[in-house]
Structure 1
Amino acid sequence: MQLKESQVAVLEAASADEATSVDALAAATDLPPETVTGAAFELEEADLVAVSERVDETITLTDEGRAYATDRLPEVRLYETALEAGADEAPAQMGQVIGQSGLEGPQVDIALSNYARKGYGAIDSGEITADPDADPSVDAEANALEVLPSDEETAVERVDIDEKTLEGLERRGLADRRESTVREVTLTEAGVTALMEGIETAETIGQVTPDLLTGGDWEDVEFAEYNVEADAERFDGGNVHILRQTAERVKDVLVGMGFQEMEGPHVDADFWINDCLFMPQDHPARTHWDRFALEAPTHIDDLPAQLVADVERAHREGVGADGEGYRSPWDEDFARALALRGHTTSLSARYLAGHEIGEIDPPARYFSVEKVYRNDTLDPTHLLEFFQIEGWVMAEDLSVRDLMGTFEEFYAQFGITDIEFKPHYNPYTEPSFELFGTHPTTGELVEIGNSGIFREEMLEPLGVDCDVMAWGLALERLLMLMYGFEDIRDIHGTLCDLELLRNTEVTY
């Protein structure tokens, strides 16, 4: 019997008494695993070997998981510090407890998002309490980190950890679970007989070369058979993220509705982000708990002096004969402080003030689809950064009916026709309302945006003397309604599910 060299090597290395994995055969024959796999399937067709398959699932700690296995989970460290601060007897200042815990950066948000969820205590209005009956020693995730080896993959079936806890570790990015197909080869009786009778190595050519063609030798050689059914290594090519595809589609829709696109800085002065929007400087959303301030530089140098004076006057005194303003402190140094924008309405303020492209005459329509940054608690509908669909229309005699009609036209382009509205309060719009859509999977109402007619106290300092209706919509929430995603962390952020993105059919 004549066989290819790779087939002979695999046949001689295989055993009739026990199954041998492809990796073991590759090591024994000095052949690549894919060559061994191909040879094994060819031998199986000739009934010389039997090939079996099984799926092995392994788990290993990530770098973050290994760090927490050593230093303890952030929520456990926060709880222990809270106990030391006496929060089990009386509420303690959260900032002080966090500072004493040694938690920094993302660890703070992680601790806060898991603290109440695990029953360690409560966080409310900047104060933290600790449940004296909570017991970190029974924290399933913390115990799992201690059980899992820190530097090697372990078969899931060999660890005594329940599925819910494993899913929690994986969702938090503390452990990585992987599935792999293991193929094993066993000699059949026919294979043993063939080896006993003797096997010759057939000289075959696996690839056509220029020399074979030009010299004419291709007519005299034997070519190896090509198995089109053999498994090949998978290569996932790059493509445009579904979030980016939807953003581009949103832009196309708005341009088709007559809008022009705005551009502007991600880092901006609080003046543009909040003060121009008639947001009082003592508003809770303007504290360090809700914004990301810059360490260097800390302040902007260039602001239009007259506009600053007009905005300060609106805050202190109000606008018009009946205006009262906020009668609260207003500090220009605070207005000059730099931060990551919490909404793209800062772009609207820049454009409406004529600061970005010069004075704009009505009627006018502008939009942006850009990233914003908020110090929110992570959950299925909130991230620290997300994309906002900003838009505004400047014209005479605008009404809420015009605003609602614009939304109905926009969302209809994406097959969403069940938009609902709810009255709301914003410092910079009156009237104001939120938008909701029905989630296609859960049937629950999902907040998808905020909107209203800009107040006179905002527009008058900017030099605008006609109506402006405006909105901020969440791009990720639009995807939830379009595709049925229930957790935006599956499509955006460090926990992004790549397989979900690769397999989701894009609608356009």
Structure 2
Amino acid sequence: MKLPQAQAAVLRAADADEDRRIDEVAAEADLKPETATRAAFELEDQGLLTVSEETVESVELTEEGDRYVDESLPEQDLYTAAVDAGADEGPVSMGEAIGASGLEGAAVDIALSNYARKGYGQIDSGEITADPEAAPGEDSEMFTLEAVADGRPDDADADALDQLERRGLVERTETTVRSVRLTDEGVTELMAGVEVAETVGEVTPELLTSGEWEGVEFAEYNVEADAGEVRGGKEHILRQTANRVKDVLVGMGFQEMEGPHADAQFWINDCLFMPQDHPARTHWDQFALSNPEEIDHLPEDLVERVKSAHLEGVGPDGEGYHSPWDEDVARGIDLRGHTTSLSMRYLSGHQTGELEPPQRFFSVEKVYRNDTLDPTHLLEFFQIEGWVLAEDLSVRDLMGTFTEFYEQFGITDLEFKPHYNPYTEPSFELFGTHPETDEIVEVGNSGIFRPEVLEPLGVDADVMAWGLSLERLLMLMYGFEDIRDVHGTLADLELLRETEVVY
């Protein structure tokens, strides 16, 4: 029997009594694994071999995970430093604990995001406590890291392994392992003798120009054989959802806003009647820029009206805040903590000119907040901003708008809860039910802008407004339980590759 060289080599390297892995057969036959695999499938088609497959999972430490095995997890270091500072007896300054831990840069955020999750203690308003009953020395994630490092992945805790993968400390890969075995017919042909046939696997320029292609025997090409997987680029599911949100809002009659990510506190907070000593305006919640530190220009007439609203109030019953207001503070530049800064620019007429009611505007843009990382909070995320300018608006109009909007995404169980905002009255939060956990998840905040916001802007009609979370909408649509699965350095790439936004 005559066979191409690769097929003959694979057939001779195979065994009739046991399965042999393709990589072993390839090494013995002095072939590339992919060449041996192709030859094996061709021999299987001829009934000379059987090819079997199994999926094998392997777990390896990333560079970061390997470093933690030699040292310790950042949250363990933070717990040790907190206890040393007395946090097991009462709250201590978070800055003091972080400084004593020796953590720097990204390690600080990692420690903070995992500290409370593991029950080591609590972090609140710049203070940290340590649970004296916690046992960081028995951390299951550290034990799992050590098991993987020692080549004992079977000893790893399954839940801890999943968490370590989300944190990017281990990488799990699944590979298809193929094995071959001689059939009775294959044994018979080997015993009868197998000769190597001279075949050509591809047409080359030399074969064509010389005319030799007419006299050679070409190897058969198996179009059903597995090919290498090629993964091209794909639009992120978050961007797909953002585009769908835009389509829905445009269909509801809204126009899109755009504006700067870094803006003056005047537009971000002061126009919203947020007092300058409000806790949300500290560095614990906002990111301030150092270059440049302040904006070049603010409209003088609007600055005076906003300042008057803060100091004296609006209307005969207005009193303002009775707290200092400094234009230098208003000129300071921050990364926007909400896209309502865009709403202030548009409503004031300084972005596109004076607007006459009725008007509807929206944006789906990124915002930045100095939050503690957890399954529902990130340092940067997307906000669905929107407002309607019209006469005689009511809360029922606002609730009806939300009902229509969320129904477009299959969400019909919205709940509303009264809330306080410095810039809207009445105000309420929106909640939806998570499809996997049945937990109530906050999805946004809304209300009717107060006169203290609208009168300085020169608006004499009603404005209802909202800020909704794009990521939490995604969680309700697809059942994601951790926002970091779709956004950031811990994103689940397989989940992103496989999930599609359904219209």
- TM-score of the superposed pair, with normalisation by structure 2: 0.92
What letter matches 1:398 in structure 2? L
Is the counterpart of residue 52 in structure 1 residue 52 in structure 2? yes
How far apart, CA to CA, are the structure 2 residues paired with 1:500 and 1:122? 31
* 1:18 Cα offset (Å): 5.5
Q: Which residues in structure 2 correspond to 1:245-324 (within 5 Å)?
A: 245-324=240-319
Indicate if the aligned counterparts of 1:137 and 1:143 stay in contact, CA closer than 8 A. Answer: no
Correspondences of 1:146-157 after superposition (within 5 Å) = 146-149=146-149, 154=151, 156-157=153-154
Give the SS at the match of 2:97. Answer: helix
Separation (CA, whole Å) in 2 of partners of 1:165 and 1:415: 33
Alignment partner for residue 440 of structure 1, among 435, 438, 444?
435
Q: What residue number does 1:325 align with?
A: 320
CA change 1:419–1:276 in 2 (3 A) is same
Aligned partners of 2:379 and 2:294: how far apart in 1? 22
Partner Cα distance (1:195, 1:41) in 2: 17
Closer/same/farther in 2, CA of residues 394 and 116 from structure 1, 3 Å limit: same
1:214 Cα deviation after fit: 7.9
* Deviation of 1:210 (Å): 6.5
State how 1:99-498 maps to structure 2 within 5 Å: 99-149=99-149, 154=151, 156-157=153-154, 160-188=155-183, 190-208=185-203, 220-498=215-493
Question: How far 1:369 moved relative to its partner?
Answer: 0.7
Give me the whole-angstrom Cα distance separating, in 2, the residues matched to 1:106 and 1:428. 34
Aligned to 2:7: 7
Structure 2: how far apart are the matches of 1:138 and 1:71?
Answer: 15
SS in 2 for 1:194: helix
Q: 1:57·1:155 contact (CA, 8 Å) conserved in 2?
A: no
Corresponding residue pairs, total: 503
Q: Secondary structure at the match of 1:34?
A: helix
Task: Give the partner amino acid of 1:73.
Answer: L
The residue number in structure 1 matching 2:24 is 24
Amino acid at match of 1:416: I
Q: Give the distance between the partners of 1:491 and 1:135, measured in 2 at CA.
A: 31
Q: Could you list the per-position Cα deviations for residues 167-212 of structure 1 after superposition, in whole angstroms to 9, with x for gaps in the alignment?
A: 1211222111111111223445554553443311122333345676
Counterparts in 2 of 1:125 and 1:478: CA distance versus 1, 3 Å = closer
For residues 358-401 of structure 1, the C-alpha deviation after alignment (integer angstroms, 9 at most, x for no partner) is: 22222222111101112223333222221111111112222222
Measured in 2, the distance between the counterparts of 1:216 and 1:435 equals 76
Counterpart CA distance in 2 for 1:119 and 1:438 is 25
Distance 2:409 2:37 in 1: 47
Q: Which stretch shifts more, 339-348 or 52-61? A: 52-61
Amino acid at match of 1:55: T
User: Cα RMSD over matched residues?
Assistant: 2.5
Cα 1:89–1:497 shift into 2, 3 Å: closer
Write the distance in 1 (CA, Å) between the matches of 2:292 and 2:71.
Answer: 33
Distance 1:167 1:426, change over 3 A: same
Quote the Cα distance in structure 2 between the aligned partners of 1:82 and 1:442.
Answer: 33
Q: Secondary structure at the match of 1:121?
A: coil
- DSSP 3-state at the match of 1:288: coil
Structure 1's 501 and 122: CA in aligned 2 closer, same or farther, altered over 3 A? closer
Deviations along 1:196-237, one digit per CA (max 9) or x if unpaired, are 433111223333456767877655543322223321111122
Cα separation, 1, equivalents of 2:152 and 2:44: 29
CA drift of 1:161 comes to 1.8
Which moved further from structure 2: 189-198 or 251-260? 189-198
State the SS of the aligned residue for 1:464: coil
Gaps of 5+ in 2: none
Contact 2:69 2:145 in 1 (8 A): yes
Unaligned runs of 5+ in 1: none
Corresponding residue SS for 2:481 = coil
TM-score norm. by structure 1 comes to 0.91
Amino acid of the structure 1 residue aligned with 2:153: V
The 8 Å contact of residues 58 and 155 in structure 1, kept in 2 or not, is answered as no
TM-superposed deviation, 1:316: 1.7
